[in-house]
Amino acid sequence: MRRLAAELERRGHRVAVWAVDRGDETTGVDEAVPGVHVRYLPAPLPTRSIRGVARFLAAFPSAWRSWASAARADRPDIVHVQCYGPNGPWATALAAVRRRPLVVGVHGETSGDADDAFGVSALQRYALRRSLARSAAVTACSAYAAADLARFGFAPGRATVVGNGVDTDEAEGSPPDDLPDRYLLALGRVDRVKGFDLLVRAFARARATGDIAADLSLVCAGDGPLVSAVKQLAQDLGVQGSVHWTGTLDRGAVVAVMARADALVVPSRSEAFGIVVLEAMRAGVPVVATNRGGVAEIVDDDVTGLLIDPEQSEDFARALGRITDPATRHRIGVAGRASVVIHSWQAVTDRVEDVYQDVLGPAHHDEALA
């Protein structure tokens, strides 16, 4: 959102970001994007219990006043929901009351949410169906993400695919301490969907078969609910001494740790897009990535990366060996770097502007708000 808001603002649009107030100390993106106002709005939803419904009814008047006040102050011409969650039903209701076009943008939350929100919540499924039916346009980060909308009564062919982007000139910061000399990198939230356990199994197999060199380590950057379980798995497989954990990294450190990697590995059981793949391509770092989801839409197999089924451990291990071959690393890294320009935030914003223009029509050519 910060990158998209900044580019829209640079092009002369007025932009406001309405984020969900989760009661934490999240920093507003307006500190980094002058001119973009950020509001944190309450978005309570009822639960099935009588007490949950009562809490929602008690919170509703104040929450609605907050959303209505934001609409009066910012006067949006378009309401664009990015990543459907508690924000979705509230934004949909507001757009209806204010008679403003609604754009729904999905980023894989319907299939890749670690808590399976749309699987367990009938309310969320119903709300998304209603929002999709009312929307003037729907964007999806990949054709894979769009296809999943069929479960919610929406024809995937009606969605416009607008992929995520990458800052082609992001500054490098300080790398974490004690990085190994040579390593494969995995970066993301450590949960079941992201497949860190599958990677550790493939890494252990590649070590045992000699597909990768004994001095090649695995660096896992991120945090999440399965860190302890994956560490235990590494110990059970006898590779704990070669698996290094950095915890969560800031943006500068991500750039630094990526630039030093032999390769990036994305072992997700499901991946709607994979921004981290673009970050590796930007650095000229070759990629081994899941073929389950939208990554295959941005990676040309054996050209700009290697695609694997992460649950086929033997094939996965062989791919780790292939990507560490110097000639293959160089060939794929160079091709990936050359391809990343089409995923710049400027290119992404061009596509978003086209969606807004189609929704608003020619009368709003230079005035669209997001």
Looking at the predicted structure, is the pLDDT value of residue 176 above 60? yes
Domain membership of residue 270 as a residue range: 183-341
Choose among 45, 218, 217: nearest CA to 127: 45
Q: What tokens were used for 188?
A: 């993301």
On whether both 86 and 210 belong to a single domain, the answer is no
Residue 172 located in a structural domain:
no
* Amino acid 368: pLDDT: 44
Is-contact 140 162, C-beta < 8 A? Answer: yes
pLDDT in tens, 142-171: 999 999 999 999 999 999 999 999 998 899
CA atoms lying within 13 Å on the CB side of residue 14? 10
Determine the number of helices (DSSP H) and then strands (DSSP E) in the chain.
14, 12
22 falls within a domain: yes
Indicate whether 155 and 197 sit together in one domain: no
Least confident of 77-86, 92-101, 114-123, 348-357: 114-123
Are 98 and 241 part of one and the same domain? Answer: no
Residue 176 lies in a domain: no
pLDDT in tens, 12-63: 999 999 999 877 555 444 455 677 888 999 999 998 889 989 999 999 999 9
Give whole-number Cα distances, 64 to 25, 42, 68, 77, 358, in Å.
Answer: 22, 8, 6, 19, 29
Percent of the chain predicted with pLDDT > 70: 94
Per-residue pLDDT band for 129 (boundaries 50, 70, 90) equals very high
Query: Residue 91 above 50 pLDDT?
Result: yes
227 and 158 in a common domain: no
Choose between 23 and 205: higher pLDDT.
205
Q: Within 10 A of 304 (CB to CB), how many other CB atoms are there? A: 25
Identify whether residues 134 and 219 lie together within a single domain.
no
Residue 202 and residue 293 in one domain? yes
Q: What pLDDT, on a 0 to 100 scale, did the predictor assign at position 370?
A: 43
Q: What's the structural domain count of the chain?
A: 2
255 has pLDDT over 70: yes
Residues 138, 35 share a domain? yes
Say if residue 111's pLDDT is above 90.
Answer: no
The answer to whether residues 256 and 183 touch, using CB atoms and an 8 Å cutoff, is no
Within a domain: residue 64? yes
Q: Is residue 177 part of a domain?
A: no
pTM above 0.95? no
311 and 350 belong to one structural domain: no
**Does residue 275 sit in the same domain as residue 212?**
yes
CATH code for position 288: 3.40.50.2000
In the predicted structure, residue 95 carries a pLDDT above the cut 50 = yes
In this structure, the answer to whether residues 125 and 238 fall within a common structural domain is no
